[in-house]
Amino acid sequence: MAFKPKLLMVDPSHFEVSYVINPWMKPGAWHEDPAGHLRQAQACSAALHQALTEAGAEVVMVPGAPGLPDMVFPANAAVVLDGRAIVARFACDERRGEEALFLNAFRSFEARGLLDTVVQYPEGIFQEGAGDCLWDDTRQQFWAGYGQRSAKASLQVTEDFFNVPVVPLELVSPRFYHLDTCFLVLSGGEILYYPPAFSAEGRAVIEGLAGKENVLEASDEDAAAFSVNAVNFGKEIVMARPPAKLKARLEERGYHVRSVDLDPFILSGGGAYCMTLRLNRFSAVKAAAEKAAAE
């Protein structure tokens, strides 16, 4: 890897499942044993942190806040590329309080030299971060989900800000409200995705741009396990405990799959990708410039 991945996580001390904004959320199950679930969530977050570190990443941890339990899913906080970050606008009232806190966090990263530029999506244009905007290093483009949480109008804002192609993918199922719940870009050029989450047009776009030989279809079981919602860098994949068949398929392609118990977070509709945000992702042009400057 040219750059050691730097991944943002949020301390889960204030995590709970207390409302429903997606079909996976189960506050009733959480409140059967809130203290026990919180202890389990803290242990699972620590296990994810360890798996990412052992895979070769550096993890930057920031605090959460009372009353904002979904801050533990910073993938939705912003889209980041080439040292530039554009902070989210959340569609659901329950998450809008996160915006100011994440904006402050990203401005602190800017002050520390971790980022060069920090802005926010225009008011009224909903866009929920890297959860709906996945960078494809092979094709040097973003795949961007819209139609559930993120607005179609956000696509042009993203393209203009980063000056890279943005490929729209309409999400048609409320169960897969962010692109990262049903779509994983792998370093070898493969796309793992769950077809029922997409329109026929979207499926055709994915196959057309990725090539059928690079498209891996996730099963119902894979999607329900939140295994598609995974972190990949190099040949390392960190994901919520995958079904055996999916793990074997990925290992056949040369990937090393690290399985983590993320059950408390799945009660809120999130997995490994949701719980992280890559802060030092670079396009090929920027990566080449960074390498030349370092020599």
- CB neighbour list of residue 218: distance below 8 Å, 6 or more residues apart: 182, 192, 193, 194, 227, 228, 246
Provide the CATH number for the domain around residue 243: 3.75.10.10
How high is the mean pLDDT of the chain? Answer: 96
Phi, psi for 237 (deg, rounded to 5): -130, 125
What are the pLDDT digits (tens) for 236-268? Answer: 999 999 999 999 999 999 999 999 999 999 999
- Is 91 part of a structural domain of the chain? yes
Provide, rounded to the nearest whole percent, the portion of the chain with pLDDT above 70: 98
Helix intervals (H) in 121-219: 154-162, 200-210
- Is 173 part of a structural domain of the chain? yes
Q: Is the pLDDT of residue 290 over 80?
A: no
- Is 182 among the residues known to form the active site? no
- Is 1 part of a structural domain of the chain? no
> Active site residue: 37, 44, 133, 178, which one?
178
Label residue 149 by pLDDT band (50, 70, 90).
very high
- Is 178 among the residues known to form the active site? yes
- Is 261 part of a structural domain of the chain? yes
In which domain, by residue range, is 32 found? 6-294
What one-character DSSP code corresponds to residue 218?
P
- Is 63 part of a structural domain of the chain? yes
- Is 80 part of a structural domain of the chain? yes
Q: Is the pLDDT of residue 1 over 70?
A: no
Give the chain's domain count. Answer: 1
Q: Is the pLDDT of residue 161 over 50?
A: yes
Is 283 exposed, middle or buried, given 0-12, 13-18 or 19+ CB atoms closer than 10 A? middle
Contact 243, 219 (CB under 8 A): yes
Q: 86-121 burial, b for 16+ CB within 10 Å, e for fewer?
A: bbbbbbeebbeebbebbbebbeebbeeebbeebebb
Q: Is the pLDDT of residue 200 over 90?
A: yes
Q: Is the pLDDT of residue 275 over 60?
A: yes
Q: Is the pLDDT of residue 97 over 70?
A: yes
Contact 176, 148 (CB under 8 A): yes
Mean pLDDT value across residues 198-203: 97
Among 89, 61, 9, smallest CA distance to 260 is for 9
Query: What confidence score (pLDDT) does residue 285 get?
Result: 85
Contact 173, 189 (CB under 8 A): no
Query: What confidence score (pLDDT) does residue 289 get?
Result: 75
- Is 180 part of a structural domain of the chain? yes
Q: Is the pLDDT of residue 83 over 60?
A: yes
Mean pLDDT value across residues 284-293: 77
